[in-house]
Structure 1
Amino acid sequence: MTTTPVVRVLGDLAHAGSHVRAVACDCAPPRVLADRPDGTVVRSGPVVAKAHAPDTDRPALAARIALAAAPLLAGILLPPLPVPAPRQEPETAVRPAPGRPAGAPPAVLPGVTPDGRPVSLWPHGEPVDPSDPDAAPWEEAGTLLARLHRTPPPHPLPPMRGPAKAARAVARMCAARPGDPDTAPVLAAWRGLPAWARDEAPADGLRARFVCHGDLHLGQLVRHPAPHGPWLLIDVDDAGLGDPAWDLARPAAWYAAGLLAPEVWLRFLAAYRAAGGPAVRAEGDPWPDLDVAARALTVQTAALAFAKSAAEGRSPDEVEQLMIDACVRIASLPPELTPDLSS
């Protein structure tokens, strides 16, 4: 296990959270599940500790974690665990997180890592098995999203961060490949999106009032209790109020690019509709409702493909190239086939 200071702190917190009281134990060493600039995740037994991004908006994070703890979201979002007060330095004791709704559990530990990042604790869930794509829970994902979108906000929430992440991906691409002509179709497809999808203006009021996950993919589902409990959505770092079409946009973009089989897409969409999801019309062609968000996710994925391949000193791989090619098609649409994005 990588033993950076952040990882050590998270391992200690997860280990402390897995025991009701201090006892001698023979627990396995904590295990790093992810270590990226936007989040470090460490597991010890049944508890997972997450250090959120250094630039996290802490009041917004508190509201998002309180959302996962809200009774209205039981059976939809994995609920957080209360964070224990560290026993060592008094200055790291738990303080109420700014912006936490009244009555919410103290689920955010601010400033406890060496670099001052906020930390949250979660129960361990069994993730989707990447080696068994036929067993991927697409229907369950569609049903959970519909239930999430139909749930009224239990307290004030920040905007869903999907458009902000797309804008960040494009900026990352431009920094990694400045002036590269190969990125021109991605930028053209980006400029063809409405301002709200580029995180340059608020979304339309009627479409921006739904509780959204903000970053839906199969890695955002776990079974809890592990390993055979029901599927739940995890990772609320991007959750908030927004256009629910964004949560369907990644599988829609994969389907349009040829990465997701039509029958899988139709199963996902049918489950979402059957559960009363508001992102698309109840029957008929869903694409008028999904087009903008799907194009935005296509641009985001292609931009990240360029950024990551540049960082690794390689050309985009076959899957990445499919998303880049999709941007080429989007950018080449004649004006009469381009949807009116002025509203």
Structure 2
Amino acid sequence: MTTAVVSALGDLAHRAAHEHPEDPCACPPPTVLADRADGTVVRSGAVVAKAHAPGTDTPGLLSRLTLANDPHLTGILLAPLKPCPATLCDRPVTLWPHGRPVDPGDPDAAPWEEAAVLLAGLHRTPAPHSLALPPMRGPAKAALAVARMHAARPGDPATVPVLEAWHRLPAWARDEAAAPPHRSHFLCHGDLHLGQLVRHPAPHGPWLLIDVDDAGLGDPAWDLARPAAWYAAGILPPEVWLRFLDAYRAAGGPAVRAEGDPWPELDVPARALTIQVAALAIAKSAAEDRTPDEVEQAMIDACARIASLPPELGAEHSS
């Protein structure tokens, strides 16, 4: 984003953080927390302003913001500040309380169990009947990643294993909704990873899920798909995966059966997430004129193994 837009976001956050924003203050300058194609986030004091992606479905975003404000989800989703959304350069802007994120430099302290419990609580909460929620966007993001890879490297042999793995998925899993009818009514986050948790109030409040841009109705197994895919690819240690899975089950999460083999529910979503991450890795490495790093290559290699398996075998066999 341009410096002027970042400055405008900082001003919006600053004004929201102060009862009398026109008065002089000793606040540090606004800080850019993220600046990506899917959103720019700027913090001023206790408030964060986010400019959402160009072309954002504003009615869908409003429904998702209403969901985040639902009292039944207090303690699960971080609620936005009001009023919102504003607009900036034809992009919707929302305002949020600042929370302390997961420390990437301390992986042993990563809140896997807390994330699992929050997900289980979200999945168990009935969707509000009065709210026209769109489908959660997890499956759509997988399809977009494959399209982005194809555009970045058309005809490149490096894309073949990813495309073959993609076409081996059931047809319903390549659809934007990607949920069997009997599993399509759950509240889902749509893009679960550790960057989607913050402590609020900072720095020692409880963990909450943030970023409802992809939230909606769908199959809750997709919210477990990223850690499942990392585990299957050998990136997430087995003991961490089992801690996460056990905590989710103990909290009554409906995405997988209460005991026994979880892969009948996780197989297809985990394969789709593997493909999504690998496709983005190929697209990003092409854009940056580099080879994929070790983690990216692990996901690409997992796609090659998935593509070589009989269709009925799952992501648990890709490691």
TM exceeds 0.5? yes
TM class by smaller structure: over 0.9
Structure 2 SS opposite 1:120? strand
| Aligned counterparts, 1:33-52, within 5 A | 33-52=33-52
Larger mean Cα displacement after TM superposition, 234-243 or 202-211: 202-211
Name the residue aligned to 2:81.
81
- Establish whether residue 134 from structure 1 lines up as the match of residue 111 from structure 2: no
Q: Compute the displacement of 1:203 (Å).
A: 2.5
Equivalent residue, structure 2, for 1:249: 225
Structure 2 unaligned spans of 5+: none
User: What CA distance in whole angstroms lies between the structure 2 residues aligned with 1:281 and 1:200?
Assistant: 24
Deviation (angstroms), 1:336 = 6.2
> TM-score if structure 2 supplies the norm length?
0.95
Distance 2:313 2:79 in 1: 44
Q: Map Cα deviations across residues 38-95 of structure 1 (whole Å, 9 max, x no partner).
A: 1000000000000001110000000001111110110000010013xxxxxxxxxxxx
TM-score relative to the length of structure 1: 0.88
Matched, 1:6 2:5: yes
Matches within 5 A, 1:148-159: 148-154=122-128, 155-159=131-135
RMSD: 1.4
Matched to 2:146, the amino acid is: V
**From 190, 195, 210, the counterpart of 1:214:** 190
Q: Partners in 2 of 1:160 and 1:187 — Cα distance?
A: 23
Q: In 2, distance between residues paired with 1:14 and 1:150?
A: 33
> Which deviates the most, 203-212 or 118-127?
203-212
Distance 1:336 1:34 in 2: 40
Alignment of 1:276-291 (within 5 A): 276-291=252-267
Cα offset for 1:195? 2.6
Q: 1:20 to 1:311 in 2, by over 3 A?
A: same
Contact 1:163–1:196, Cα closer than 8 Å, also in 2? no
CA distances 1:22-44 after superposition (whole Å, capped 9, x unpaired): 32211111000011111000000
Residues 209 and 242, structure 1, Cα contact 8 Å, conserved in 2: yes
Aligned residues: 312
Cα separation, 1, equivalents of 2:62 and 2:280:
28
| 3-state SS of 2:183 partner | coil
Instruction: Name the structure with the higher helix share.
Output: 2
User: SS where residue 158 of structure 1 aligns?
Assistant: coil
Distance 2:27 2:96 in 1: 18
In the alignment, what sits opposite 1:123? Answer: 97
| Secondary structure in 2 matching 1:33 | strand
**Structure 1 residues 242, 81: CA separation in 2 closer, same or farther (over 3 Å shift)?**
same
CA–CA separation in structure 2 for the residues paired with 1:201 and 1:129: 33
Task: Report the secondary structure of 2:155's partner residue.
Answer: coil
Mapped to 1, the partners of 2:240 and 2:177 lie a distance apart of 34
